[in-house]
Structure 1
Amino acid sequence: MSELPSIRWGIITTGLISQWFVEDLVLDRPDAKVNHIIQAIGSSALEKGNQFAAKYCPQSSPTIYGSYEEVYNDPAVDVVYIGTPHSFHKQNCLDAIRAGKPILCEKAFTLNAAEAREVLAAAAEKNVYVHEAMWLRHRPLVHELRRLLHEEKVIGDVFRTFADFALNLDIPSLPPTSRYRDPALGAGSLLDIGIYSLTWAMLTLDPGSPASSELPRISASQTHLHGVEVTSSVLLKYASSGRQGIVTSTTMQPVDPVHIAQIQGTKGYINVEGPTPSMPLSFTVYERVGGGSSAKTVEKKYDFPRIGRGYFYEADNTALDILAGKKENALMPWSETIRVMEIMDEIRRQGGTKYAVDG
């Protein structure tokens, strides 16, 4: 690892996502591109920070701070990872930008597109790197799938994608302060898990780079329970190609443990498989060969090894960006963050989900 370039991380908050992220950073990987160092941990309480460090990075001795601001201002920190709930992202990012710190911020990036624009405008003014942590886009499985779809056209012309993310959270049983129940914290299936369904559709229906992606037309419906959006159903229509995406999410049903998405083409289809839509592990190509009564379907499965949870792919790319002096990531540039937030704003507008920050 000593021959690799190093990057020193400041971890903002000690919640579940930060735990998973740090576990991946400290994995011993023979193909690692970067030596990731947990330099500092910011928490609301020093005791929580110390417990986090002892459990998740026992081989290092990060500095523990009882505030996020101290992490931003630590000169030994090269980049901060923000793993707080959506509703805090805007302020966390603005504070880090003010201190000149590069940022990897969890998805959903903010509560709406207006907040995202405010953050990215501040980053542009201060010339600070900002990257939305949509880890799905960095996985080798996704890159190979897109190559087969859009370059080799293994299932012909793609015309439709189905993608769903379902969890059973039993919203009424949760305390009112839970981020899954409190609209002030960005509660709702769309921003939390529906963003993955949306991303699968965009990745498989958009053949080009994120920077040249098309903004689809949107038809959306949402259902609410106890004031919280619990089910979203969305139809995306790409005017230039006629391609459609059927994107759904719900917190009222356990997730299908196998099928994540299906991509349909004029010569076959592809099923993406894995425990959740955020963690694909394989996909199977069903290609129709021949025509008429002699036509047959050829099946080929592509397996990808499960190493940790897969957060290190985005961490490696973030680190390499920063070490190269870049201000955006090519797989998730600022324009794509804005596009995703605009689409989710429109889905919420049509579905009747409004946050206080929407105005």
Structure 2
Amino acid sequence: MASDPKQTIRWGVLGTGWVSTNFVRDLLLSRPSAPVEHLITALGTSSEAKGNEFINSNFTFKQSRPIIYTDYNSVYADPGVDIVYIGTPHVFHKESCLAAIAAGKHVLCEKPMAINEREVNEMIAAAKEKGVFLMEAVWTRFFPLVLKLQHLLHKEKVIGDISRMFCDFGLDINVASLPPTHRLKDLKLGGGALLDLGVYPLMFSSIVLDEHVGSRASNPEVTSSLLVIDGVDYDDVIVLKYPDNGRMAILTASMRGKSGENFLRIEGTGGTIVVSGPAASVPKHITISSKAEGERVLDFEHEGMGFYFEADAVAADIMTGRKENEIMPLAESVRMIRIMDEIRKVGGVVYAQDSM
């Protein structure tokens, strides 16, 4: 007996940079066991030449080519688009998101969802008023490894009561060689380590130190020290203290040096857990060192980068009529950006959007 055909979700993609490239490549992978078929039907880019280069680099001759639009509004108006993926620089997220929502499209918006809490709240209010799905694309949060880590910590309690954690995400970007207008270096584009790299250690602190998410999660006390050059943070040191449970996190992010493979260490009364991989955004291994049971290693390899994990979850939500995701609810996006706002306030990084 033939199986029922898969349901299809049609994506309009904004941007042709690194994150959009890897998102599209992952969605185009041949995955026979995938619960849904992802189609890229529209591409929004600054020029037709960029669009053609993107398509030629990422699509095979067998795959249907998306329509190239050099006007983002045309992506939102395309009746062949169910959901818009926003993979543009941070400062453009709010404007693009609000326009897509106004056109009645569902939205998956890259992290950080916006520059500050005020912008995030505005985007969420618009989505709720229009009745469309909205989620911040914290892709790593949907990895099987991350879901397993939460279960090990909060359900199995393999290291007992958690006391503290250390997480680092650094890349050797050679910022000095970048032009002043580069998105990582330009304050007007939301440049700096926190919004680009620091979101990952913060994500891990959220799932490690509190088993709840969003509005049910605790709000930590925040201390930070940032190395600020020309208004932009190059290195970040963040200390979070959870008064409700006595747990603490030391988080670091840097654009001046690459992290080691063992980027996350969690300590508890019954042992430790180390998470390792090429970067904090791409965890691959969990090493459990239990005082009672010794050491064991869990390996999590998958095809591609892993963006399809979040895309599959989003598709399932949309197809069942849900307007937000339970793993990454909108209240969690508000909670995370509120913490980042406080980190910047203490550390001395101010964006123009903060006074708007």
Count of matched residue positions in the alignment of Structure 1 and Structure 2: 351
Hey, what's the Cα distance between the residues in 2 that align with 1:341 and 1:210?
A: 12
Superposition map of 1:61-80 within 5 A: 61-80=65-84
Deviation at 1:2, TM superposition (A): 7.3
Deviation at 1:51, TM superposition (A): 1.8
Partner of 2:287: 284
Is the contact made by 1:106 and 1:133 (CA closer than 8 Å) also made in structure 2? Answer: yes
Task: Give secondary structure in 2 for the equivalent of 1:32.
Answer: coil
1:208, CA displacement in angstroms?
Answer: 2.1
The one of 47, 50, 67 aligned to 1:48? 50
Matched, 1:351 2:327: no
Post-superposition, which runs of at least 4 consecutive aligned residues in structure 1 deviate over 4 A? none
The equivalent residue for 1:338 is 334
Partner of residue 294, structure 1: none
Please show how residues 60-99 of structure 1 align to structure 2 within 5 Å: 60-99=64-103
CA drift of 1:136 comes to: 1.1
1:262 aligns with 2:265: yes
Which of 171, 182, 186 is matched with 1:178 structurally? 182
Aligned to 1:21: 23
Distance 2:33 2:288 in 1: 27
Indicate the residue corresponding to 2:322 in structure 1. 326
Q: Aligned ranges for residues 49-198 of structure 1 at < 5 Å?
A: 49-58=51-60, 59-198=63-202
Q: How far apart are residue 171 of structure 1 and its match?
A: 2.0
Shift of 1:181: 0.7
The answer to whether the 8 A contact 2:101-2:127 is kept is: yes
Q: Unaligned stretches of 5+ in structure 2? A: none
Cα displacement string for residues 199-229 of structure 1 (whole angstroms, at most 9, x for unaligned residues): 1111111112434111111111111123321
Deviation readout 1:297-327 (Å, 9 max, x if unpaired): 6000000113100000000001111111111
State TM-score, norm by structure 1. 0.96
- 1:214 corresponding residue in structure 2: 218
Task: Give distance in 2, aligned partners of 1:31 and 1:231.
Answer: 41
Are the equivalent residues in 1 in contact too, given 2:231–2:350 (CA < 8 A)?
no
Partner Cα separation in structure 1 for residue 101 and residue 155 of structure 2:
38
Cα distance in 2, alignment partners of residues 173 and 310 from structure 1: 30
Contact 1:166 1:251 in 2 (8 A): yes
Tell me by how many angstroms 1:170 deviates.
Answer: 2.2
> What's the CA shift for 1:30?
2.8
Q: Identify the match of residue 276 of structure 2 among 273, 278, 281.
A: 273
SS at match of 2:291: strand
> What whole-Å deviation, never above 9, does each CA across 1:324-359 have from its counterpart, x for those lacking one?
111111111110000000000000000000001101
Task: Return the letter of the residue paired with 2:325.
Answer: N
Alpha-carbon displacement from aligned partner over 1:47-88 (angstroms, at most 9, x marks no partner) = 211221122122212111111110100011011100001010
2:34 is aligned to 32
CA–CA distance in structure 2, aligned partners of residues 178 and 283 of structure 1: 35
Root-mean-square deviation (CA, aligned residues, Å) is 1.2
Is the 1:210–1:331 contact (alpha carbons within 8 Å) kept by the matching residues of 2? Answer: no
Distance across 2 between alignment mates of 1:119 and 1:331: 19
* Counterpart secondary structure, 1:28: coil
Query: For residue 313 of structure 1, what is the aligned residue in structure 2?
Result: 309
Alignment match, 2:11: 9
Q: Secondary structure at the match of 1:235?
A: strand
Q: Counterpart of 2:322 in structure 1: which amino acid? A: K
Residue type matched to 1:33 in 2?
Answer: P
| CA distance in 1: counterparts of 2:153 and 2:284, whole angstroms | 17
**Distance across 2 between alignment mates of 1:322 and 1:50:** 29
Distance (Å, rounded) in 1 between the aligned partners of 2:29 and 2:241? 41
In 2, are the aligned partners of 1:217 and 1:236 still within 8 Å (CA)?
Answer: yes
2:248 to 221, 238, 244: 244
* 2:300 pairs with 1:298: no
Deviation at 1:126, TM superposition (A): 1.0
Structure 2 CA distance for aligned equivalents of residues 248 and 282 of structure 1: 20
For residues 322 and 221 of structure 2, the distance between their equivalents in structure 1, rounded to whole angstroms, comes to 32
Identity, % of aligned positions: 45
Q: Equivalent of 1:231, from 221, 235, 241?
A: 235
Aligned counterparts of 2:4 and 2:187: Cα–Cα separation in 1 = 46
Q: Deviations over 1:161-183 (max 9, x none)?
A: 11110112222221011001100
Letter in 2 for 1:56: N
- Report SS of the residue matched to 2:252: strand
Once residues 50 and 326 of structure 1 are traced to their aligned partners in structure 2, the CA distance between those partners, rounded to angstroms, is: 34
